[in-house]
Amino acid sequence: MAAAILIGLTLALTGCARSAPAPTHASPPSVSPVSPAPTAGAASAADTSTLDGISKDLEAADGANTQTEADQHTAEQAAATIDD
Amino acid sequence: MKHIATMAAVGAAVCAVSLATALPASAAGTPSVDGHSTLAQIQAAATTATSDRIASLKTAIGKVDANRSLTAGDRSTILARLNADLTAMSSLASKIAADTTVSTALSDYHDIFTGYRVYAVALPQAFDAAAADRLTGTAIPALQSAHDKLARELAAHPTKWTDTLKAQLADMQAKISDASTHANGLAARALAVTPAQYNADKTVMTGIRADLKTSVGDTKAAAADGHALVEALK
C-alpha cells in the first residue's frame, strides 16, 4: 500500500513535472561561441559608422582621381598636337 | 575639311570641371608653309592656325572658369595667360591678313607657334596645374583622412587586424606620402614654363608630366588599399 502510494506520488510528480508550464525563472541565454558580448556589439555599430566615413573619403578620392586623369589626358593630347 | 576633335575626359565620372578643350585632330590639313609659299598661301595657313588656337583657347577658358579644384591664384594665372594668348591670336590673324609681303607674313606666321606655343605649353600647363591642384587639394587629403580613420580603427580594435591588413595600411600611407612628394609644387612648376623655354628645350614639360603620372598612380594605389581594407573590416 505504501509502495503504491509512493509510486503514485512519484508518477504524479513526474506527470506534473512534464505538464507543468515553463519554469518561472528565465531561460538561460543561449551562449554561442561566436555571439558578441554586449560591449563588442556596441563597438560593431561604431565600426559600421566609421567604415561608412572611410568609404566616403575614398569615394571623394576616387572622384578626384578620375577628374585628375581626365585633365592629365587632355594635357597630353594638347601636347601631342603639332605646334610648329 | 579640317575637323576639330573635341577631347573627352576619360573615366566614368566625366565632370564638367575637367579641362576638356577643342583640339585639331591633326596638322595633316594645315597647309605647309615655307620660304616658297605665296603670300596668299601663308595668309590661308595663318587663318587656319589662328582659328584653331582661338577655338581651343575659348573652350579652355570656359573650363578653367568652372574648375573649382584650381586654387584662386592658379586660376588667375591661367586665365590671364589664356586670355592674353587669345588676344594675341586675334591680333596676329588680323595682322597677317593685312601683310603685304611674303617675308613679313612668314615672320608673323611663325610667331603664331614660337611666340605662344598654345598647344605645346599654354594648354598643357593649364591642364597639368588643374590636375596637380586637384591632387593636393582633394585626392590626397581625402586619402589621408581615410588612412587616419583606419589607423584609429587599428588602435581601437587591434585583434581585428591581421599582419596582412597592417601591411596594407602601411602601404596606403607610403603611397599617399609619395603622391604628395610628387604633387607638391607641381602646379607652380607647370605654370612657370614659358614658350621661350620650350623653344630652347622641347622636353621642358616632360619631367612635370612624369611627376604628375607618378602621383596619380600613387593616389589610385592608395585608394585601392583603402577600399580593400574597408572590405576586410566589414
CA–CA gap between residue B119 and residue B115 (Å, rounded):
12
Tell how many helices (H) and how many strands (E) occur in chain B.
9, 2
Residues B68-81: b if buried by 16+ CB within 10 A, e if exposed: ebbeeebbebbbeb
B162: cell is 591581421
Q: Which residue of B has its CA nearest to A45?
A: B234
Is pLDDT at B11 greater than 50 in this prediction?
Answer: no
A42 in B contact zone (CB under 8 Å): no
B123 in A contact zone (CB under 8 Å): yes
Closest to B78 (Cα-Cα) out of B131, B25, B6: B131
Lowest-pLDDT choice from A80-84, B109-113, B160-164, B176-180: A80-84
pLDDT tens digits for B165-219? Answer: 999 999 999 999 999 999 999 999 999 999 999 999 999 999 999 999 999 999 9
Assess contact for B97 and B109: CB atoms under 8 A: no
Do A47 and B12 make contact, defined as CB atoms within 8 angstroms?
A: no
Is pLDDT at B75 greater than 50 in this prediction?
Answer: yes
Is pLDDT at B131 greater than 80 in this prediction?
Answer: yes
Q: Which residue of B has its CA nearest to A66?
A: B11
CA–CA gap between residue A80 and residue B120 (Å, rounded):
8
Look at B229 and B1; give whichever has higher pLDDT: B229
Contacts of B144 (CB under 8 A, 6+ apart): B176
Assess contact for B170 and B225: CB atoms under 8 A: no
Mean pLDDT of B143-162: 94
Closest to B177 (Cα-Cα) out of B221, B231, B229, B134: B221
Tell me which DSSP letter residue B16 carries: T
Do A64 and B138 make contact, defined as CB atoms within 8 angstroms?
A: yes
CA–CA gap between residue B13 and residue A71 (Å, rounded):
13
| Cβ neighbours of B11 in A, within 8 Å | 66-67, 69-70
Assess contact for A83 and B154: CB atoms under 8 A: no
At residue A10, the pLDDT reads 52
Handedness of CA B54, B55, B57, B61 (dihedral sign): positive
| Cβ neighbours of A67 in B, within 8 Å | 9, 11, 13, 15, 17-18, 69, 134
CA–CA gap between residue A67 and residue B5 (Å, rounded):
20
Amino acid sitting at position B22: A
Assess contact for B94 and B52: CB atoms under 8 A: no
Amino acid sitting at position B69: S
B108: cell is 608673323
Mean pLDDT of B107-128: 97
Q: What is the ipTM of this complex?
A: 0.84
Closest to B51 (Cα-Cα) out of B29, B20, B75: B29
At residue B160, the pLDDT reads 87
Mean pLDDT of B54-76: 95
Percentage of chain B surpassing pLDDT 90? 82
Lowest-pLDDT choice from B16-20, B66-70, B79-83, B146-150: B16-20
pLDDT means per 10 residues, chain A with 84 residues, are 55 49 45 43 60 96 96 93 84
pLDDT tens digits for B33-58? Answer: 877 899 999 999 999 999 999 999 99
Helices B163-183 & B206-233 angle (0-180, nearest 10): 150
Is pLDDT at B99 greater than 50 in this prediction?
Answer: yes
At residue B28, the pLDDT reads 43
